[in-house]
């Protein structure tokens, strides 16, 4: 067995140098010892006659090849040199496994044999080293097995095997199985898609149908910018960030035009009253609102300073006023307003005037920027308002004091059923409902019903199908007298606890009541405030599909003081609204085929109950408490 060459570098020898090396090494072998007995380290196979050089120095070799042992200076290790193709040494087996080894010239012992080397050939020999390839026999049986391990089939062998009938049939079988599986999965996916419940297409809605509208009427009570004690357009623009925070879709302002009381000739519907500002101020309002994604609706009721909004003459006989109104509507639509509001529309019963004006607004519709025509009536009786709905079908929205007659809580809460009846009748008759609880003749809503019931009505208006209208101040529970001059009928918005509650920088105006802590500053960021509650409601109204598009279903309530209804749209989150109109605690059970036994409190007029899980049987409600419960659609 021949050891493996230990050096990693190839050896380089010239023929003469190798001959000299071998000659000197052989001559130094131990005397009396058979050189054939020396343990071989390397087996060199050299061509016959390799040493037959002219500078050979007495080294004798068999012309047909022979074997010699050489010590290379590595101890007892020796080199067996075979000349030609004859393996004459008994220590060399013809079937030994050999491999090529290239000896390195980097070792100093293997550098070229120059004149200074003691092993060099004849002096002056300067030939370059040749390369000797060694056949090295492996030392261990494991190495022999590793060399002999299977290395795979050749390309030709693989092609030959692959073309056999057995492999051809196997490939076809696997290919057929693959495509059958693929087609099966495709068919399964199609069946799932076809049988899966489909989502309803969302109905197209105009911008005023997607959320609430904030009424700033009159403008002179909202914000004063020039310290004259009267609100104006510049002050309104300064509060645009606040209006945007209410999550409403637009604001209704005005009237703003010049209107000497009961003087039709001097009334100019196309000019802004200087007490409010200028036309340029109004244009800045439009630009500021646009940046906040808010629309602006302008009230154009002509004789708003008088008890006769359309002057003391029937509108259908007043052709001059009709022409003036057409010109004014076109003028303001060209300026960029998103709609027109008209008051006291009961004056138009039996005429086509509203239809003509509606045609004007439609001419200015641009893509998704529709122009709305809003009608307001002063009627109080429910039947008269329902009748007016049929007379004003040409307008987009009709608002009224329809719910004002029941906007208070009673001990027995009997108006719960009354409100349910009113609302159901209105929804049946209206093309698109407009909801508001108008402020009474004296005082704000919070004065007439209290804060808790005010929250209840906010929840009612913002969860019914239709457009809710909110008057400025109602979102904070503004009370009428604190902060308002005793002689004034205009409620002043209360912003902070500074002089005049932040409404004006003018000298502090006298008030008939002590200061109020109902201000925007105190309620902003307070999670339990009326303002925060209103903002949450308004945001839900604008983003939840069941509130935006959902169907309205009455549910059965075991208590006459509780009005409950369901809002549902397709497979989206669904809402059950439960309102207690009694001034005392009530226990009620709500039933409907589509309701689960337990639901989550999405929003409550009592903030401490939010996110609770409540059972619909024997549900306890506090005085004037409203709950907005949600549940997930289950197929």
* pLDDT per residue as tens digits for the range 577-615: 999 999 899 999 999 998 999 999 999 999 889 889 999
What Cα–Cα distance (Å) separates residue 434 from each residue in 206, 403, 416, 565? 14, 11, 20, 18
Domain membership flag for residue 180: no
Q: Pull the structure tokens for residue 633.
A: 């659609």
Helix (H) or strand (E) holding 289: helix 279-291
pLDDT tens across 192-220, in order?
988 887 788 888 999 999 999 999 999 99
Instruction: Identify whether residues 21 and 108 lie together within a single domain.
Output: yes
Q: Structural domain of residue 219, as residue ranges?
A: 199-400
Higher pLDDT, 107 or 469: 469
Average the pLDDT over 610-626 and give the result.
93
pLDDT tens across 341-396, in order?
999 999 998 899 999 999 999 999 887 688 999 999 988 888 999 999 988 888 99
Instruction: Identify whether residues 96 and 234 lie together within a single domain.
Output: no
Q: How confident is the model at residue 463 (pLDDT cuts 50, 70, 90)?
A: very high
Last residue of a domain, one of 147, 173, 189: 147
Residue 226: CATH number of its domain: 3.20.20.80
Q: Check: CB of residue 419 under 8 Å from CB of residue 406.
A: yes
Domain membership flag for residue 174: no
Output the pLDDT for position 18: 52
Q: Given a cut of 50, is residue 526 above it in pLDDT?
A: yes
Q: Check: CB of residue 82 under 8 Å from CB of residue 93.
A: no
Instruction: Identify whether residues 370 and 224 lie together within a single domain.
Output: yes
Count of residues for the chain?
Answer: 635
Neighbours of 498 (CB within 10 A): 12
Least confident interval from 103-112, 333-342, 387-396, 556-565: 103-112
Instruction: Identify whether residues 249 and 389 lie together within a single domain.
Output: yes
* CA gap 545, 547 in Å, rounded: 5
Neighbours of 199 (CB within 10 A): 11
* CA gap 442, 371 in Å, rounded: 33
Higher pLDDT, 28 or 560: 560
Q: Pull the structure tokens for residue 228.
A: 């004259």
* CA gap 107, 532 in Å, rounded: 89
pLDDT tens across 420-439, in order?
999 999 999 999 999 998 65
* CA gap 260, 266 in Å, rounded: 7
pLDDT tens across 241-254, in order?
999 999 999 999 99
Q: Which residues of 76-111 are buried (b: 16+ CB within 10 A; e: fewer)?
A: ebbbbbbbbeebebeebeeeeeeeebebebeeeebe
Higher pLDDT, 127 or 538: 538
What Cα–Cα distance (Å) separates residue 50 from each residue in 70, 103, 109, 462? 16, 18, 21, 110
Instruction: Identify whether residues 260 and 360 lie together within a single domain.
Output: yes
pLDDT tens across 16-34, in order?
555 555 555 444 445 554 4
Give φ, ψ of 163 to 5 degrees. -90, 5
* CA gap 235, 360 in Å, rounded: 31
Instruction: Identify whether residues 220 and 304 lie together within a single domain.
Output: yes
Domain membership flag for residue 486: no
Instruction: Identify whether residues 29 and 99 lie together within a single domain.
Output: yes
Domain membership flag for residue 495: no
Output the pLDDT for position 52: 40
The domain tally of the chain equals: 2
Higher pLDDT, 291 or 450: 291
Output the pLDDT for position 491: 84
Least confident interval from 130-144, 282-296, 468-482, 615-629: 130-144
| Segments of 104-216 assigned E as strands | 130-131, 133-135, 213-216
Q: Which residues of 129-145 are buried (b: 16+ CB within 10 A; e: fewer)?
A: beebebbbbbeeeeeee
Domain membership flag for residue 260: yes
Domain membership flag for residue 132: yes
* CA gap 553, 576 in Å, rounded: 9
Average the pLDDT over 279-291 and give the result.
97
Instruction: Identify whether residues 217 and 335 lie together within a single domain.
Output: yes
Q: Across all residues in the chain, what is the average pLDDT?
A: 79
Q: Given a cut of 60, is residue 72 above it in pLDDT?
A: no
DSSP lists the bridge partners of residue 563 as: 579
Domain membership flag for residue 283: yes
DSSP lists the bridge partners of residue 288 as: none
Instruction: Identify whether residues 64 and 206 lie together within a single domain.
Output: no
Output the pLDDT for position 413: 62
Average the pLDDT over 263-292 and give the result.
96
* CA gap 145, 500 in Å, rounded: 103
Average the pLDDT over 473-487 and give the result.
68
Instruction: Identify whether residues 23 and 114 lie together within a single domain.
Output: yes
Output the pLDDT for position 107: 44
How far is Cα of residue 378 from the mean position of the Cα atoms in its chain? Answer: 45
Helix (H) or strand (E) holding 388: helix 382-391
Output the pLDDT for position 630: 96
Domain membership flag for residue 481: no
Last residue of a domain, one of 356, 372, 400: 400
Instruction: Identify whether residues 243 and 371 lie together within a single domain.
Output: yes
Instruction: Identify whether residues 215 and 342 lie together within a single domain.
Output: yes
Give Dmax over CA atoms of the chain in angstroms. Answer: 153
* pTM score: 0.71
Give φ, ψ of 449 to 5 degrees. -130, -10
Give φ, ψ of 567 to 5 degrees. -115, 125
Last residue of a domain, one of 124, 147, 170: 147
R_g of the chain, CA atoms, integer Å:
51
Q: How confident is the model at residue 45 (pLDDT cuts 50, 70, 90)?
A: very low
Q: Pull the structure tokens for residue 21.
A: 């090396």
Peptide bond between residue 218 and the one before it cis (omega within 30 degrees of 0): yes
Output the pLDDT for position 518: 85
Q: How confident is the model at residue 224 (pLDDT cuts 50, 70, 90)?
A: very high
């Amino acid at each position: 067995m021949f050891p493996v060459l230990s050096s990693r570098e190839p050896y380089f020898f010239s023929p003469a140098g190798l001959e000299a090396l071998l000659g000197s090494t052989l001559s130094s072998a131990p005397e009396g010892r058979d050189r054939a007995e020396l343990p071989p380290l390397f087996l060199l196979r050299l061509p016959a006659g390799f040493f037959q050089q002219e500078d050979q120095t007495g080294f004798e070799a068999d012309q047909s090849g022979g074997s010699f042992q050489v010590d290379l200076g590595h101890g007892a290790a020796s080199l067996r040199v075979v000349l030609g193709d004859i393996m004459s040494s008994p220590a060399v087996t013809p079937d030994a496994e050999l491999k090529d080894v290239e000896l390195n010239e980097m070792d100093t012992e293997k550098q070229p044999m120059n004149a200074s080397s003691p092993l060099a050939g004849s002096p002056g020999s300067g030939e370059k080293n040749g390369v000797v390839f060694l056949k090295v026999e492996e030392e261990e049986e494991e190495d022999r097995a590793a060399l002999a391990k299977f290395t795979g089939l050749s390309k030709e062998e693989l092609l030959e095997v692959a073309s056999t009938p057995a492999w051809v049939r196997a490939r076809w079988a696997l290919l057929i199985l693959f495509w059958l599986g693929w087609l099966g999965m495709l068919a399964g996916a199609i069946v799932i898609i076809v049988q899966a419940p489909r989502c309803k297409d969302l109905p197209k809605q105009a911008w005023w149908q997607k959320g609430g509208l904030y009424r700033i009427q009159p403008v002179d009570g909202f914000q004063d910018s020039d310290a004259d004690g009267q609100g104006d357009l510049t002050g309104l623009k300064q509060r645009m960030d606040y209006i945007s925070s209410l999550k409403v879709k637009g604001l209704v302002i005005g009237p703003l035009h010049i209107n000497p009381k009961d003087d039709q000739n001097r009334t100019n519907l196309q000019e802004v009253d200087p007490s409010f500002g200028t036309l340029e101020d109004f244009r800045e309002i439009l630009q500021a609102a646009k940046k906040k994604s808010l629309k602006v609706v302008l009230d154009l009721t002509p004789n708003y300073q008088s008890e006769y909004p359309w002057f003391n003459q029937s509108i259908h006989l007043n052709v001059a006023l009709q022409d003036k109104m057409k010109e004014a509507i076109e003028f303001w639509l060209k300026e960029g307003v998103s709609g027109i509001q008209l008051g006291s529309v009961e004056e138009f019963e039996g005429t086509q005037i509203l239809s003509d004006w509606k045609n004007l607004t439609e001419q200015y519709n641009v893509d998704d920027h529709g122009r709305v025509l809003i009608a307001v009536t002063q009627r109080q009786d429910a039947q008269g308002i329902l009748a007016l709905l049929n007379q004003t079908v040409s307008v987009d929205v009709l608002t009224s004091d329809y719910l004002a007659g029941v906007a208070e809580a009673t001990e027995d809460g009997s108006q719960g059923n009354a409100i349910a009846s009113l609302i159901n009748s209105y929804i049946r008759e209206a093309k698109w409902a407009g909801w508001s609880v108008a402020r009474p003749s004296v005082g704000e809503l919070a004065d007439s019903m209290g804060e808790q019931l005010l929250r209840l009505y906010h929840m009612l208006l913002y969860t019914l199908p239709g457009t809710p209208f909110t008057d400025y101040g109602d979102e904070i529970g503004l009370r009428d007298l604190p902060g308002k001059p005793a002689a004034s009928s205009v409620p002043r918005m209360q912003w902070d606890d500074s002089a005049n509650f932040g409404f004006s920088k003018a000298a502090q105006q006298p008030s008939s009541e002590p200061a109020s802590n109902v201000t925007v500053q105190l309620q902003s960021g307070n999670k339990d405030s009326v303002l925060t509650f209103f903002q949450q409601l308004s945001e839900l109204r604008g983003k939840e599909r069941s509130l935006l598009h959902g169907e309205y279903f009455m549910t059965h309530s075991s208590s006459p003081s509780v009005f409950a209804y369901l809002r549902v749209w397709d497979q989206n989150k669904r809402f059950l609204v439960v309102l207690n109109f009694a001034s005392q605690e009530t226990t009620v059970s709500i039933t409907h085929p589509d309701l689960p036994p337990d639901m989550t409190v999405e929003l409550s007029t009592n903030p401490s109950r939010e996110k609770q899980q409540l059972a619909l049987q024997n549900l306890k409600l506090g005085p004037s408490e409203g709950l907005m419960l949600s549940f997930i659609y289950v197929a």
